[in-house]
Amino acid sequence: MEREQAAQAGAIPYRVTGEGSIDVLLITTSAGRWSIPKGGIDPGHTAEHTAVLEALEEAGVIGVLEKPALGTFERRRVDQDHHVTVFALRVERVLERWQEQDIREREWLPATIAAERAGLEEVGRLILQLARRKRPRTKGRKTG
């Protein structure tokens, strides 16, 4: 019997600190694990639209979605398999009140700690990939 496939999209909300490092906003799932905002892609919507909407509803953040996607991962559930496309979202505004604030916690963490705390290894891997991509570049010095 073939398993049902579900397309999902998610966002890794991040901000750049004064020192140039990356902080990531994690949220709790209904099971109490730390993760990123993500959800099913509704008919007629794109992965990009879904990622932005989930970040707003689940984490209470508004920002700029960066394309292309950071990557994808597969998540096997009891009733179906989920294919999740994940984008970076540079946060511009954090809302004091948001739709799911009564059922979720949120916390800003340095990227390396967020990667360790994320409940799914694949999410941690994508957080570290984002941090490497956003690492401040040091200018080379000429010697001579």
Give tens-digit pLDDT for 47-65.
999 999 999 999 999 999 9
Q: What is the pTM of this model?
A: 0.90
143 part of a folded domain: no
Answer whether residue 31 is part of any domain.
Answer: yes
- Residue whose tokens read 């998610």: 10
Residue 78 pLDDT level (bands cut at 50, 70, 90): confident
- Could you identify the residue written with the tokens 């490092």? 21
pLDDT confidence of residue 142: 47
Confidence of residue 138 (pLDDT cuts 50, 70, 90): low
**Residue 141: inside a domain, yes or no?**
no
Residues 6+ apart with CB under 8 A from 18: none
Of 6, 40, 37, nearest in space to 106 by CA: 37
Domain around 87: 4-134
Does residue 43 have a pLDDT over 70? yes
In a domain, 76, yes or no: yes
CATH classification of the domain holding 15: 3.90.79.10
Q: How far apart are CA 38 and CA 74, in angstroms?
A: 13
DSSP states along 4-40:
EEEEEEEEEEEEE-TTS-EEEEEEE-TTS-EE--EEE
53/61 Cα distance (integer angstroms): 9
* Total number of domains in the chain: 1
What distance in Å separates the CA atoms of residue 38 and residue 122, rounded to the nearest whole number? 13
Residue 33 is assigned to a structural domain of this protein:
yes
